[in-house]
Structure 1
Amino acid sequence: MFQKNLEVLKVKNPVLASKLEKIDIANIKNIDVVNAESKDLIINYNKVNLHSSLDPIREAKTVWHRTIKTDLKVNDIQIVFGLGLGYLFKRAFVSSDSKIFLIEPFIEVLRFVLEYVDFSVEFSENRVFITDNIEDLNQKLQAEFLSGDKVEFLFLNSFAALAQDQLIKLTQTALEICESKSADQNTIFNQCKSWVKNSILNLQYYSESRPLGFFEGVFSNKTALIISAGPSLVNQVQKIKENRDKFIIIAVAPILKYLIQEGIIPDFATFTDASNLSFHIEGIEEHLSKINLVINSRAENCIIQKDFKSKIIYLSETDLAAQWFRDHTSADVGLYKSGGSVSILSYYLAKAFGCNVITFAGLDLAMVNNKIYADGQDLQCNEAGDYVIPGKVIKKLMHVKGYNGQMLPTRDDYALFIRHFEEIFRQEHNPARIINTSTSGALINGMEYMEFDDFINIIGSPSFTISQELSEVIEKTQDKWAQLNDSIYPELKNQYKKIQEIDKLAKPVISELREVCVLFEDQEINFDIIEAKISPIKDSMAQVRNDVVKNVFLSIYLQNEIWKYTRQYNTSVLPNLDDVKANMKLELEFFTSVNLAIDNIIQSMETAFLILDKKIPTVKNRVISIT
């Protein structure tokens, strides 16, 4: 029996299978099999019955119905804590078609049970995931949970008693992941349309830029100072000026004006937001020619067209448009982690540069002494406790632990950024030393905290010439980059033509769907009439939906609409007339959104072509230098 179960686990979770295979069943001494009063078998682990000694089947059924109050859909998730002999797991399995993430905290229990109970059928289903540790389960949840999915926790009292700390940790971390993923998805839905527009329009200025991948390791073993906008920066500005030549300064966009006003010209300025970026350069445009720009490929288009010293494009691995660009040019352009904030992006930038000391200044991620930013803005709250600027609610306030142990007020999105940083430092290997000089701000686990003076003492007095090293890369890659820009141009033209073809197919469908929806107003309507009207356009509808999902720009632009469509569409084998009516209304909404998306994307492409048509033939003759 064990081998049969093991073969399935080798496919599902090979690491777990390997651990189980190394456990000799003969060495397990603390598990006994006994009979419940119902005559069903139960197991006793460390002198504790893992199931009801009266009726384990009834216990599992009761727990399931007490916990699950509404119908679960296929994308919902049941987290079953504790397998035992499988009564609760099997109840979850047969009662719903949802996903099941099963964690057995006691690996010897799992090894013992798999010796005698056949779970191979259940384990082999794609919707079932099994592990023995919280980290695996959290990674699975991180990968599969989407906003709107329900997550239910199922456990027996015996497991709650025996593994209380693990259960508490599991629920806390799982809820944090769901909260974070929901926030991430809301950001995607709110910004995806701007991302597409910016990604296309920014292509106009790629010829005078370079991708970050060309600069991998260019500042190997150098020190980077990433300057964020937190209030503690006020106490460090003078020290930064006094030691200006000892590190590479990377300034996040929101602090740029403040630094320049204080007489500090950073080496790099990072921009990542999809909108409202022009504010960060108002009144300081004459200084931009002294600063190297690093810009996310989908950041607002108004920035890349400014006269910076040089321009570096940051392509994110989670951005489908960036992947499309890489796939049609070269892997050398580089795809990098997507930061939840511009400070996180700046960290990945310093890492790509090869810096062996990455230090943060002004990274408070909390309100220090009632101040919000380094420019002295005071924290103001409305009656509901929300952080506000004049007349406008910005973010919910909460409290986080400070480095010195005190609880500090912060924005809810800052709390998520803290979590993102901690997740980065927990999961990835970075040989660089990560230092935070904001000892009055929030505690970010994984960072080394020290005062700014101590940071200066450890780095000594290095010497390097940033402009020369950047110029060498730019000049060396001139011809290669020109060729890559030449190759992406026809691909963009090809996308333009494909989207026009989808538009031609979609517009007649919209007209027919409108007529179908009007038919439902007739009290005498029936299935035959509706089917006769829908049948001629079914193939076109399917073709458009398929083409939209496959098209890189449309699929990004319509993420919200695609999510809504897939979630709300009724797939019943025998739908009633109301189901069909709701589906047709949903189809009309979706196809109308497709039509609007096409109009906007085509407009962005045609705007880009006005410049690209002139630039591309002359790219190879352009020479960019930094002085």
Structure 2
Amino acid sequence: IHLIYGLGLGYLFQVASANSIGTVILYEPDLNILKIAFTLVDFSKDIEKNNVFIADNIDLLGEYIHKKSNTKNTPLMLTTRAYRELNNETFDEMVENIQRMIGSFNLDLKYTQEKFYPLTRSIIRNIPQLLNEIPLTAIKDVFKGKTAVVVSAGPTLDRNIETLKKYRDNIILIVVGTAMKTLAKHNITPDFLCIIEAYDSSKQIAGLDLSEVNFITEPYSNPNLRNFKFKQIYSHISQNMPVNSIWSSLTAQNINEYLSKGTVSYTALNTARILGCSKIVMVGQDLAYIEGQCYSKDSAYKDLECRYNKDNNRWEITAKNFEEFANSLSNSPDEEKRKKAAENRLRNLNNSLYYVKGIKGDKIPTESVYAAFIKPLTEFAEMFNDREYINTSMEGAQIDGYKNMPLEEALKDTQPIETREIKSDYKLDLTSLKTNITTEISNLKKTKEDVLNGEKAVKTLNNDLKRYKAPTVEVLKDLKKVSQIFLNLSTSKAGTLFDFITASEKIDIDYEMKMTGNFTIETLTTLIAKFSNYFNNAEKKIDRVIQLLSNTLEKL
């Protein structure tokens, strides 16, 4: 993808249009420049091309990038020095916005490709435990009008411990997993603990007494998290996490109120909203590295620090105690695997170092993922503007929509909460659940018939290509048949179990089809390999999921 910023007289745009075999996106936010340039120069041959797109605003640009991007083809931005200097005041900010947007798209795509199948398996495995979990909306507004404090594991959490103790009886305290050990060390018991990770993050809370803590998690979260003794477990069934539709469909639950943006802090904010809290205060939500610290000194990842390396003239993230960091990060019994996971994590953190606007107006270091969280938190406050939002970091990233205020000032007018008793008469319809699981098994068996037909069609295509050694009419007819089976499965099974378990292979085929301009022996060979992988893996995964569903059904 070639992203051209600024049309000017169109020379750069025309060069890209003439030479790029991929996608060309022209971003020109000034409509007057577009009008003048199109009047002076004939761009008709350029704009008629199927691979050329023109955007005059950031939202339309985002649509084009989302439509055409892939984890394998990160956009390359091209512009002229004159155009950068002309828009010097806004250029850097615009580039940061585009980088965050591309990063967000790539994260979503990568997550879909790598996680949908294992998450689907996790949900099915979790079903026996999910029977006893109460949907969070079943206790909606139970703490209406109260003040909620959402605690994250940022460095400034340490400075607010005593204030949290002072006002503990006056607030609904919600903590994310990485901050739980910090609170426990200071004998602070939260009302709710939020953990939504798909990987085994149980070390975040290992060894703690959680019997008086309510646990909030997702249907897909790691099964080991449900092994702890909690007061009660509540399900937060995020609607924008597609795999959650598996559980909502099986149980006919309305999940419209469950919002998430990939960060547990967002889930905690939405929890406070669903509970009815009218004032929501964030603690430790720094989203940046403060005075060299990445996390609270007593949190799960306390060993990370961010320092400026004068020899390399750059900020670097290291682990003060590498062994402890590796142990906190991975639950693997294999020391080498723990070490490798820690090394990869440090490498990724350093490769994604970023700078954001701080509360004090300065630029402060962070990682790109944290930078990407700023906008969703801002949008949350804008979307639900019927309550008050306060950020007590005072030194971290600026999050618009939240008042910047010390915790003492934010809580000084709160009053003790008389009762924290939570009652719910929610009961899951077990008979209906069993019926729906049986139906899913039947649907997968029927889908497998189409998959087997796809395998046969791919074999025919491959044999004909070997026979003719060219993209003949017969070969292209075979390709059309294979493509039609694939497209029928992709469209008719969208949002179903089959769609989730084949997401990775589907993305690979989509990418190859986007990139294939002409059918040659080479491109056809690549497509055949991708289609073969899709249908073969689909057959295997269907069998595994059917077995998993059958085993789960026996346990109910």
Does TM-score exceed 0.5, indicating one fold? yes
Q: Distance in 2 between matches of 1:154 and 1:370?
A: 35
User: For residues 157-236 of structure 1, what are the structure 2 equivalents within 5 Å?
Assistant: 170-236=94-160
Deviation at 1:505, TM superposition (A): 4.2
Decide whether the 8 Å contact of 2:437 with 2:553 is kept in 1. no
Match 1:442 to one of 369, 373, 397: 397
Q: Which residue of 2 aligns with 1:71?
A: 20
Distance in structure 2 (CA, Å) of the matches to 1:301 and 1:527: 49
Corresponding position of 2:329: none
Aligned equivalent of 2:284: 362
Amino acid at match of 1:290: E
Counterpart residue identity of residue 393, structure 1: N
The equivalent residue for 1:498 is 443
The equivalent of 2:358 in structure 1 is 402
> C-alpha displacement at 1:165, in angstroms?
5.6
Say which SS state the counterpart of residue 285 (structure 2) adopts: coil
Contact 1:211 1:334 in 2 (8 A): no
| 8 Å CA contact retained: 2:7, 2:26 | no
Judged with a 3 Å threshold, the aligned counterparts in structure 2 of structure 1 residues 380 and 342 are, in CA distance, closer, same or farther, namely same
In the superposition, relative to structure 1, how do residues 152 and 531 fare at CA in structure 2: closer, same or farther (>3 Å)?
closer
Partner of 1:454: 409
State the distance in 2 between where 1:234 and 1:156 align: 47
Contact 1:198 1:301 in 2 (8 A): yes
* 1:555–1:245 distance in 2 versus 1, CA, 3 Å: same
When normalised by structure 2's length, the TM-score is 0.79
Q: Which of residues 491, 506, 509 in structure 2 aligns to 1:562?
A: 506
The SS at the match of 1:368 is coil
Please tell me whether the aligned partners of residues 79 and 101 of structure 1 are also in contact (alpha carbons under 8 angstroms): yes
1:350 maps to what in 2? Answer: 272
1:250 is matched with: 174
Secondary structure of residue in 2 paired with 1:84? helix
Cα distance in structure 1, aligned partners of 2:252 and 2:42 = 48
Q: Distance in 2 between matches of 1:573 and 1:506?
A: 27
Structure number with larger C-alpha Rg = 1
1:241 aligns with 2:126: no
C-alpha separation between the residues in 2 aligned to 1:89 and 1:359? 56
Structure 2 counterpart of 1:262, which letter? H
Query: Could you tell me how far 1:561 is from its partner in structure 2?
Result: 1.8
TM-score of the superposed pair, with normalisation by structure 1: 0.71
**Cα distance change on mapping 1:331 and 1:599 into 2, 3 Å:** closer
Counterpart CA distance in 1 for 2:83 and 2:369 is: 35
| Residue 301 of structure 2 is aligned to residue 379 of structure 1 | no
Q: Alignment RMSD, CA only?
A: 3.8
Aligned to 2:221: 299
Task: Give, in angstroms, the shift of residue 597 of structure 1.
Answer: 2.7
Render the CA deviation track for 1:223-251: whole Å, top value 9, x for unaligned.
11111111221222222122211100101
Q: 1:318-374: per-residue Cα shift (whole Å, max 9, x none)?
A: 223333544564454544222221111111111222211111111122222222222
Cα deviation, 1:583-623, whole Å, max 9, x if unaligned, reads 222211222232343244234323422322xxxxxxxxxxx
Question: Any residues of structure 2 matched to 1:276-291 within 5 Å, and which?
Answer: 276-284=200-208, 287-291=209-213
Moved more, 386-395 or 201-210: 386-395
Q: Secondary structure at the residue paired with 2:145?
A: coil
CA apart distance, 1:264:
1.2
Q: Which amino acid in structure 2 is aligned with residue 566 of structure 1?
A: D
Aligned residues: 511
The answer on whether the counterparts of 1:145 and 1:178 sit within 8 Å (CA) in structure 2 is no
Higher RCO (C-alpha under 8 Å, 6+ residues apart): 2
Residue range with higher mean Cα deviation, 429-438 or 92-101: 92-101
* Offset from partner CA, 1:154-187 (integer Å, 9 cap, x none): 9999998987766775554334312322233223
Matches within 5 A, 1:421-436: 421-425=377-381, 427-436=382-391
Secondary structure (helix, strand or coil) at the match of 2:446 reads helix
AA at the equivalent of 1:463: I
Q: Distance in 1 between matches of 2:7 and 2:458?
A: 55
Task: Give the whole-Å Cα distance in 2 for the aligned partners of 1:51 and 1:186.
Answer: 32
Equivalent in the alignment of 1:416: 372
User: Aligned with 2:344: secondary structure?
Assistant: strand
Note the C-alpha offset of 1:430.
1.9
Match of 2:327 in 1: none
Q: Shift of the alpha carbon at 1:296?
A: 1.6
More moved, 224-233 vs 183-192: 183-192
Q: What is the correspondence of 1:584-623 to structure 2 with a 5 Å cutoff?
A: 584-612=528-556
Q: Using the TM superposition, give the Cα deviation of residue 539 of structure 1 relative to its aligned residue in structure 2, in angstroms.
A: 9.1
1:73, CA displacement in angstroms? 5.0
Q: Give the conservation status (yes or no) of the 8 Å contact 2:175–2:190.
A: yes
Where does the alignment leave 5 or more consecutive residues of structure 2 unmatched? 1-5, 323-338
Distance 1:541 1:67, change over 3 A: closer
Per-residue deviation at 1:68?
Answer: 4.0
How has the CA–CA distance of structure 1 residues 331 and 237 changed in structure 2, closer, same or farther, with 3 Å as cutoff? Answer: same
Task: Report the Cα distance in structure 2 between the residues aligned to 1:601 and 1:419, rounded to whole angstroms.
Answer: 37
Task: Identify the residue that residue 100 of structure 1 maps to in structure 2.
Answer: 53
Unaligned runs of 5+ in 1: 1-49, 53-58, 104-133, 613-627
Q: Secondary structure at the match of 1:320?
A: coil
Match of 2:497 among 542, 545, 553: 553
Structure 2 counterpart of 1:463 = 417
Amino acid corresponding to residue 488 of structure 1 in structure 2: L
> 1:465 is matched by which residue type in structure 2?
T
Alpha-carbon distance, 1:272 to partner:
0.9
The answer to which of 220-229 and 398-407 deviates more is: 398-407
Give the Å deviation of 1:462: 3.7
| Cα drift, residue 271 of structure 1 | 1.2
Gap change, CA 1:294 and 1:255, over 3 Å in 2: same
Whether the 8 Å CA contact 2:444–2:542 is kept in 1: the answer is yes
| Offset at residue 310 of structure 1 (A) | 1.4
Provide the C-alpha distance between the structure 2 equivalents of 1:399 and 1:209, rounded to a whole number of angstroms: 40
The residue identity in structure 2 corresponding to 1:441 is G
Whether the 8 Å contact between 2:47 and 2:53 is mirrored in structure 1 is no
Aligned sequence identity (%): 18
8 Å CA contact retained: 1:292, 1:310: yes
Specify the code of the residue in structure 1 equivalent to 2:389: I
Choose from 147, 150, 162 the match for 2:70: 147
Corresponding residue for residue 8 of structure 1:
none
User: How far does the alpha carbon of each residue in 1:506-526 deviate from its partner, in whole angstroms, 9 at most, with x for none?
Assistant: 34654674576477667x745
When structure 1 is superposed on structure 2, of 143-152 and 172-181 the one drifting more is: 143-152
Q: Is contact 2:170–2:415 with CA below 8 Å preserved after alignment?
A: yes
Aligned twin of 2:332: none
Cα deviations by residue, 1:101-141 (Å, 9 ceiling, x for unpaired): 442xxxxxxxxxxxxxxxxxxxxxxxxxxxxxx46546646
Letter in 2 for 1:84: K
Q: CA separation in 2, counterparts of 1:455 and 1:534?
A: 68
CA distance in 2, matches of 1:388, 1:153: 31
Q: Which moved more, 1:409-418 or 1:527-536?
A: 527-536
> CA distance change for structure 1 residues 313 and 498 in 2, over 3 Å: closer, same or farther?
same
> Hey, what's the Cα distance between the residues in 1 that align with 2:295 and 2:199?
20
Rate the CA distance shift 1:161–1:451 in 2: closer, same or farther, 3 A.
closer
* CA distance in structure 1 between the aligned counterparts of 2:509 and 2:483, rounded to whole angstroms: 18
- CA-to-aligned-CA distance 1:195-240 (integer Å, 9 cap, x gap): 2122222222222112122232222211111111112212222221
CA distance in 1, matches of 2:317, 2:544: 35
The code of the aligned residue for 2:13 comes to: W
Separation in 2 of the partners of 1:405 and 1:298? Answer: 39
Which residue pairs with 1:321 in the alignment? 243
| 1: CA distance, partners of 2:435 / 2:84 | 60
Q: Is the 8 A contact 1:79 1:102 kept in 2?
A: yes
